[in-house]
Amino acid sequence: MYMESEFVERCKARGLDEAAIAKSVTVIKALEDALSGSGSTLQEATLAGVEARIADLVKNDLCDEALLMAMARYFSVIGNDKIAIRVLAYLLPIGVLPAMAGRLRLIEGDDIADKVLDGMVFPPSGAPPGEYAASTKIFVEALVNGLGEERTEKILTWNVHGIPVSAFMPEREKLQVLGSIDAWLKDYHTRQVAELARHASDGTLWYEQKITDAVVEFVKANQEIQGGVRIGDTIYVTKIPYDPDAFLKETDPLEKRRLACHCPLAASTIVEGGAGVSAHWCACSAGYVKFMFDVAFGEETKAKCVSSVLKGDALCRFAVRIPDSFLI
């Protein structure tokens, strides 16, 4: 297997135990066998060939998050960022709609949930990201029609990806040490810019994103991006584009909006004339954005999406209200 030792080292660096590493290697060797059947190799793999393999695994109910992560990690190791980024996109929507359905049931009860979800079917794990759009559109419309806008946003605004509190505890400690929200926000942004600069320098992916010097300068120039700016009792956060380098190079406004959107469950519906996934869905992103502030402040914050590429804005922007206890 090409670059097996490097792949194993990367797995170790990501904290995988021996069993998980062995499973990851098995995934890649099985992919290698599948590619060889069509006259290809891991080094020569095409995106179409890898996606065909994923589709076959989904068809046989053999695809899961660990398998997809192994593929994404492997292609990152061998320097095929195009495939690595695409496979990472397969991971992002997994479990989101079922989790939202579960939250609906928890908050609104079985009777209402059954009515909202009646006849709804979600794509299987490993389905191409674009296949989630139709289900997402139907789900959001059913929520709004059944619950109204306010209750819908309550359902959607939460930590759907299950990020642990521990991930942001250092920010709570940093806020306490600095003793100022403004100083903390500036410090956080400075640290984020430095991290992006490291990725631009060594060429490694930042999550599923390629970072260039132009991206670093773009973020550095706006503290709201990968940071936040306080205005009165509210912190405003602007989302970094999903594909920031391509976003900066693109001139077509519609395509720029697609490149800005992080949500694989909705991005493909950004088309001329609209009628895609409702911008109400962006409450989900508001839930993601606010979670760091929930942890940093030690209490629940309120957040809403104030600009959204789904409704025609150039970038997504969020408003997070600072808890009263921090405004004294």
Give pLDDT tens digits for 143-196: 999 999 999 999 999 999 999 999 999 999 999 999 999 999 999 999 999 999
pTM of the model: 0.90
> Does residue 125 sit in the same domain as residue 142?
yes
Confidence of residue 273 (pLDDT cuts 50, 70, 90): low
> Does residue 272 sit in the same domain as residue 180?
yes
Q: Tens digits of per-residue pLDDT, 66-121?
A: 999 999 999 999 999 999 999 999 999 999 999 999 999 999 999 999 999 999 99
Q: Give CA–CA dist 117/214, Å, rounded.
A: 44
Answer whether 187's CB lies under 8 Å from 178's CB. yes
> Does residue 205 sit in the same domain as residue 260?
yes
> Does residue 205 sit in the same domain as residue 320?
yes
> Does residue 136 sit in the same domain as residue 239?
no
274 pLDDT higher than 80: no
Q: Tens digits of per-residue pLDDT, 126-145?
A: 999 989 999 999 999 999 99
Kindly state the average pLDDT of the residues 299-308.
96
Average pLDDT, the chain: 95
> Does residue 174 sit in the same domain as residue 260?
yes
* pLDDT, position 208: 85
Looking at the structure of the chain, the number of domains it has is 3
> Does residue 173 sit in the same domain as residue 123?
no
* pLDDT, position 191: 98
26 pLDDT higher than 90: yes
> Does residue 179 sit in the same domain as residue 277?
yes
User: Domain ends where: 135, 156, 177?
Assistant: 156
Q: Give CA–CA dist 30/53, Å, rounded.
A: 10
Query: CATH number of the domain that 28 lies in?
Result: 1.10.150
> Does residue 227 sit in the same domain as residue 212?
yes
Strand positions, DSSP E, the chain:
229-231, 234-238, 302-307, 317-321
Answer whether 322's CB lies under 8 Å from 297's CB. yes
Burial string for 121-132 (b: 16+ CB within 10 Å, else e) reads ebbebbbbbebb
Length of the chain as a residue count: 328
> Does residue 147 sit in the same domain as residue 254?
no
25 pLDDT higher than 90: yes
28 pLDDT higher than 70: yes
Domain coverage including residue 46: 4-91
Q: Tens digits of per-residue pLDDT, 278-300?
A: 999 999 999 999 999 999 999 99
> Does residue 315 sit in the same domain as residue 262?
yes
Q: Give CA–CA dist 301/315, Å, rounded.
A: 22
SS3 285: helix
